[in-house]
Structure 1
Amino acid sequence: MARNLDIALLRTFATVADQGSMTRASDILHLTQGAISQQIARLEALVGTALLLRHPRGLRLTPAGERFLGRIRPLIITNDEIWSEIERGDVSGPVRLGLPFDLVDSCFAASLKSYCEAFPKVELTLVCAASPDLLDMVGRGHLDLAVIERAVDSEGGEVLAIDRLVWVGARAGQAHKRSPLPISLVGETCVFRPAVSEALAEEKLASRMVFETGGLDATRIIVKMDLAISAWLASTVPADFDIISEDAGLPPLPSFAITLHRANGARGAIFDELARQLRNAMARPRLAA
């Protein structure tokens, strides 16, 4: 006799696993923590093993949970894509989306193209800015949805992924050996600036800002010319740049969370569909920019 998996249980498990917290998962799924706990217990009973373990810093996946999560992600994505095809005729209207400069091409370009092709009645407006600016725009109601980068230990938003911040330089470049260390960031409000400044201060490493007012493209040019190094998320590093190795003497940098935020009034199919596209884009394997 064929047995069927309950997509609702799988979605709850995947959300709890991604967020590392039943509290945050309950906010995203609009379920009580008790309901989420019951669904996880039902799923563990079905598979016959523990999938999650409690940890002082949140919930952690067991080895069986890691394997199970990898198997069910494609099922959730396929389920949502089928429903999108069924409902696409009802999705229409304006939607304002904010994305950080470094994530547009490397993570979301393909999914945004697919979204616009699948829902031609949607009027998508894209705003690119630094994460702190995007978060402010969501709070003011100037954006409907935004993806931002934030410190892992800070609160807010739905966690889509965790990525490590790395030092990057020109291919076989020498800028990282200079003193003071030449650095180029995208702008004064770059979300990585405090982490970079703190890491350099802890190592008492002298540095100077070479360029930080021309946006991502200008920063790429400065780094490619070997005039400075920069700090980017590992998954966004261009193929023709080098991730500077840990033995180069530079201080380690922390990981960052990539999170999805919605304005209070951003409810309905048009926003749910875009959020699903963004969520699935981060769930799929990605290549560096």
Structure 2
Amino acid sequence: MRGFEFDQLKTFTTVAKAGSLSAAAALVHLSQSTVSEQMRKLEARAGVPLFVRSKRGVEPTPAGARLLEHARRLVALNEAAFDELRGQAIKGELRVAITEYFRPNEVAGMLARLRECYPRLSLHVRAMKSVEIELAHSRGQIDLGVVMNLSTGPFRPVAGNARWILRREPLYWVAAPALAEQLPERLPLVLLPDDCMMHRTAVHLLEERARPYELVHSASGVAGLQSMIAAGLGVGCLCASSIPDGVVRLGAKYRLPILPEAVFSLTPPHAQEQETVAQAREVLSRQLLA
């Protein structure tokens, strides 16, 4: 039989999301040995390695990344078909705002899959700062938002609404390799403007550690920040999924303060939320976790 087993593809997407076989096993309620066997059979069927394995876990190979796009699409279409047959297909308009820090290299593909799976849903999507998203949501200007908080610290530590947490990601100090090799004691910083909580957190932690720094460049958005860091203009802070190719994480030898986790979540329901929004919330919580 040509093609792939659907259960193996579904497990494959979970392994890629979790970053390890053991973490994925807990999410799909299977033993680690079963997950490992499924991935072995999937790689045998594909005829190429799908993961690079290391002590830190697993990461998709280039072939694995290509299959992952197809697998996520198939899983999403399967869920959409299930919703359709149960009379739960989403239709209408939905206003969504997403923080730029949320999986910037993947979010466009996620939204494209959502449009494909739910063609009767009209999506209006904006990228905004988390504080602006929460304000717009409280005023009824958007229906749903994906916001970022921090796990600890004085600036926007996450609290409550655990039901709608999408993912947690480590934050890292990052720089271009050439800069990392000859990093000066006075740290050259590249950050977003000072109304960004990542900016305030980085500065607060450096001052707490008494580490000299200088803000050498300010970017208007995450894409610009990624480009400036990759070009070697300075050191920045990025969550794991935002780190571009050609940029390295600065480890313990650089004596930089430990950063908190980034916690991404959906804005909580309004007291009288429309049925379309309630349905979309459930679907988005699955799609954005994929």
TM-score range, shorter chain: 0.5 to 0.7
Candidates 176, 196, 209, aligned match of 1:190: 196
Q: Which amino acid is the alignment partner of residue 91 of structure 2?
A: S
| Secondary structure in 2 matching 1:188 | coil
Q: Which residue of 2 aligns with 1:148?
A: 147
Could you tell me how far 1:205 is from its partner in structure 2? Answer: 0.9
- The answer to whether the 8 A contact 1:133-1:189 is kept is no
1:248-259 correspondence to structure 2 within 5 Å:
248-259=254-265
Q: Show CA shifts across 1:179-224 (max 9, x none).
A: 4312122333223123212211221012222222422222222212
The CA RMSD measured in Å over matched residues stands at 3.1
Residues in 1 aligned to 2:275 and 2:287: alpha-carbon distance in whole angstroms: 18
In structure 2, relative to structure 1, the CA distance for the partners of 1:117 and 1:89 (3 Å cut) is: farther
1:210-289 correspondence to structure 2 within 5 Å:
210-262=216-268, 264=270, 267-284=273-290
Q: Are 1:120 and 2:119 an aligned pair?
A: yes
Q: Which residue of 2 aligns with 1:109?
A: 108
Residues in 1 aligned to 2:168 and 2:76: alpha-carbon distance in whole angstroms: 19
In structure 2, relative to structure 1, the CA distance for the partners of 1:161 and 1:266 (3 Å cut) is: farther
Moved more, 247-256 or 85-94: 85-94
Q: Are 1:71 and 2:75 an aligned pair?
A: no
In structure 2, relative to structure 1, the CA distance for the partners of 1:227 and 1:181 (3 Å cut) is: same
Could you tell me how far 1:125 is from its partner in structure 2? Answer: 0.9
Could you tell me how far 1:66 is from its partner in structure 2? Answer: 8.2
- The answer to whether the 8 A contact 1:131-1:149 is kept is yes
Structure 2 residues not aligned, in runs of 5+: 1-21, 31-71, 152-156
Moved more, 174-183 or 97-106: 174-183
- The answer to whether the 8 A contact 1:84-1:273 is kept is no
Structure 1 residues not aligned, in runs of 5+: 1-63, 285-289
Q: Which residue of 2 aligns with 1:207?
A: 213
| Secondary structure in 2 matching 1:113 | helix
TM-score, with structure 2 as normaliser: 0.65
Residues in 2 aligned to 1:270 and 1:116: alpha-carbon distance in whole angstroms: 15
- The answer to whether the 8 A contact 1:183-1:211 is kept is yes
Identity within the alignment, %: 19
Report how many residues are paired. Answer: 219
Moved more, 272-281 or 92-101: 272-281
Residues in 2 aligned to 1:167 and 1:174: alpha-carbon distance in whole angstroms: 10
- The answer to whether the 8 A contact 2:114-2:287 is kept is no
| Secondary structure in 1 matching 2:123 | strand
